[in-house]
Structure 1
């Protein structure tokens, strides 16, 4: 009898548990996830990232839509490829998506992500951003350093004049790196360090490493690959070199204790540190991290903007001629162009907008991370999802831009569309809380350099190369540069 009862009870309990499971399954709301390509075990969609992520992600978005969910290992990645989706992330739900994921390479290079670009969203980040915006990058401060920009650009013109008279070929890519580096060094550190080739090499390695993906961030069990590949060794070496350099800079400034108004960024930060003992700047590592941000944003991205803009102008001689005519008309017989003249150069500003549209310095920006479960355009997005905003793809959206791959500055002459974070069709510097605070400073350099160059010189490609055949290939990294240096033949004009 007991055996018979047990035989009856077991199916009964199984049936009850099955009913409970069905009830729970039916009562649990099913997630409406964004479209997603098929993923592989362990690695997810990492194999689809490609050498140029902005291009690979653009290709995938054409098949799966402007809101697409990938998985890099175990980490969910939301890819944004439309202005509407970007507006939702960077404006409507900006507070939810203003966090940064913890990435091991920036964390080791920038003192535990104590900078503004990579630090997590919170009180520390608010204080650091406030210090940068108010103390270092306010409009007043940007204007204060205009004499540095004007002096260094004049020095650049004289160097090119001398090189053009003694050589058939001038490397403009190197020239753009030198001018931006010299300006940032004077403004941030008080003097130029660009004459030391090692410094430029360290900075180049630093930016390349920031653009690398660490396997261990997404697949912890495969983190050993970063050691075997040599990636971790490079990160440690570059971090040590920059720390030693910046330690020396801070020690030198601490001994000098400059007074008055002629202060560089390190002076300003050290003064703030002394006057605000309880601030986050009490730690010298925070000062070093902010200075590294200035170099990353000021030198690398600005030189990239100059390089791509000049390449597009050479490739499109009609646009170059229009720009030269405008600059020379505004400058007239003046010995030097000043920043006051730039405001009258509307075509120059259109040229830079068009260059930024086609060649965003950071084509996928720095990734964000959601802090809570939410919905984006009807799709369920889980807390902890990383967000990649493909501004390169957004700026090539044919539903908004006519002939999106064509360099056509005239498209900006009769429109109010700008890149300052209000028009989400054009957001090369990001938008919202995480928008780039150094945008105005970098643009001031770019505009002045280009205006002086096109006024003083006519350009042609070296070795008889035709403009239409100019190679526009890219090299991978956090900031996208030209794969090949921009070599030109220069003719002095005035």
Structure 2
């Protein structure tokens, strides 16, 4: 896979003290990561220009989130449903548009496999290769692909933006994470996934960011398939249930100093965040736990590691760290109300910022 290791940031930061919109770069990285994992495709060229298929892809994702938000409002506030009618025609058009693009990409992979005589290690190829063995319909494959895409793209960028805001607001934590990166990786190479196990503090930073700022604060809705009692409350069969993981992660009865960004807490106590410890549930739990939980953790850890290893980060000129706006924009996913602006300072030799080409 072709990997652009900080090159865009380096190019834009040739002028000292330049403030950058962090969200812009995080969104691009998350988009490239997910599309390359799912489809083995890079829709953005070395100049940063997105091709026509990539633009269509992003438009479909954006439209899907918009339609999903209107559906959630209609589903979960019944007495306001008349204000949010379900746009069945719009949903049908969106589905057809999504399926048309996905089938075109699937056909490209089928032809490539027939020509090469084997399948590459991309998610779409894995699904197509196992289609007959597990009786997977084309619709099922398309659904699985888009579950991965919609669950992993925006949420990853959101989580890393919150983490970077906390790191800039807490210079002590940023410096401690960089000291660990410098000790383990040094200044002559870049971070790889095999380094994660030797970077416990970086992993704790990612975990603490997901605790304080879960990208889906109420998780995805669950529906009770029988009458149950939870915490003394009766939940009738068919009820839609949301779990407020944001509140659980900030509960003073569960966490010491719950509103403070303290990654050290996870060095002292090992807390699982893949559904086994109910104090921390950014990916849900049980049979409906996010199937891409480990992928999400790895992407967040990798993005944070590269950003901290390659650059030191400070607030824009004239702004003190404690003045960074940490308020949230309400919605299905929790964006920063004020997108993060930051000033990066390169830390590594110039050659480590160059594009590294790897076969996809």
TM-score, structure 1 length as denominator?
Answer: 0.63
Partner of 2:131: 273
Please tell me whether the aligned partners of residues 276 and 285 of structure 2 are also in contact (alpha carbons under 8 angstroms).
yes
Please tell me whether the aligned partners of residues 152 and 292 of structure 2 are also in contact (alpha carbons under 8 angstroms).
yes
2:99 equivalent among 243, 252, 256: 243
Measured at CA, do residues 198 and 487 of structure 1 come closer, stay the same or move farther in structure 2, by a change above 3 Å? farther
Structure 2 segments unaligned to the other structure (5+ residues):
45-49, 349-360
Structure 1: distance between partners of 2:185 and 2:77: 57
Please tell me whether the aligned partners of residues 472 and 483 of structure 1 are also in contact (alpha carbons under 8 angstroms).
yes
Residues 87-126 of structure 1: pairs in structure 2 closer than 5 A? none
Shift in Å, 1:236: 4.7
Measured at CA, do residues 413 and 274 of structure 1 come closer, stay the same or move farther in structure 2, by a change above 3 Å? same
Say if 2:111 is the partner of 1:255. Answer: yes
> Aligned-pair RMSD on alpha carbons?
2.4
Residues 109-148 of structure 1: pairs in structure 2 closer than 5 A? 148=1
Shift in Å, 1:376: 2.6
Shift in Å, 1:307: 1.0
SS of 1:491 mapped into structure 2: strand
Give deviations 1:91-122, integer Å, cap 9, x for gaps: xxxxxxxxxxxxxxxxxxxxxxxxxxxxxxxx
Please tell me whether the aligned partners of residues 169 and 488 of structure 1 are also in contact (alpha carbons under 8 angstroms).
yes
Shift in Å, 1:218: 5.5
Shift in Å, 1:235: 4.2
Say if 2:337 is the partner of 1:487. Answer: no
Partner of 1:200: 58
Measured at CA, do residues 470 and 383 of structure 1 come closer, stay the same or move farther in structure 2, by a change above 3 Å? same
Please tell me whether the aligned partners of residues 113 and 119 of structure 2 are also in contact (alpha carbons under 8 angstroms).
no
Measured at CA, do residues 231 and 170 of structure 1 come closer, stay the same or move farther in structure 2, by a change above 3 Å? farther
Shift in Å, 1:296: 1.3
1:209 equivalent among 36, 42, 67: 67
2:10 equivalent among 144, 161, 176: 161
Higher mean C-alpha deviation, range 373-382 or range 440-449: 373-382
Structure 2: distance between partners of 1:302 and 1:315: 20
Give deviations 1:303-325, integer Å, cap 9, x for gaps: 11111111110111111111111
Shift in Å, 1:440: 0.9
SS of 1:441 mapped into structure 2: helix
Structure 1: distance between partners of 2:235 and 2:214: 27
Please tell me whether the aligned partners of residues 210 and 477 of structure 1 are also in contact (alpha carbons under 8 angstroms).
no
Please tell me whether the aligned partners of residues 474 and 480 of structure 1 are also in contact (alpha carbons under 8 angstroms).
yes
Q: How many residues align?
A: 337
Structure 1: distance between partners of 2:287 and 2:120: 30
Structure 1: distance between partners of 2:40 and 2:8: 22
Flag the structure with more relative contact order, 1 or 2, with Cα contacts below 8 A and sequence separation at least 6.
2
Higher mean C-alpha deviation, range 484-493 or range 159-168: 159-168
Shift in Å, 1:460: 1.5
Partner of 1:470: 324
Shift in Å, 1:394: 0.4
Structure 2: distance between partners of 1:470 and 1:384: 43
Shift in Å, 1:233: 6.4
Shift in Å, 1:453: 1.4
SS of 2:268 mapped into structure 1: coil
Give deviations 1:258-307, integer Å, cap 9, x for gaps: 5435232112212222444xx2x22x121111111111122121111111
Give deviations 1:405-439, integer Å, cap 9, x for gaps: 11111111110222121110111111111111111
Structure 1 segments unaligned to the other structure (5+ residues):
1-147
2:84 equivalent among 226, 233, 238: 226
Residues 28-427 of structure 1: pairs in structure 2 closer than 5 A? 148=1, 152=3, 155-165=4-14, 168-194=18-44, 195=50, 196-214=54-72, 216-217=74-75, 225-227=83-85, 235-257=91-113, 259-260=117-118, 262-276=120-134, 279=135, 281-282=136-137, 284-427=138-281
Shift in Å, 1:243: 2.5
Measured at CA, do residues 248 and 476 of structure 1 come closer, stay the same or move farther in structure 2, by a change above 3 Å? farther
Higher mean C-alpha deviation, range 193-202 or range 447-456: 193-202
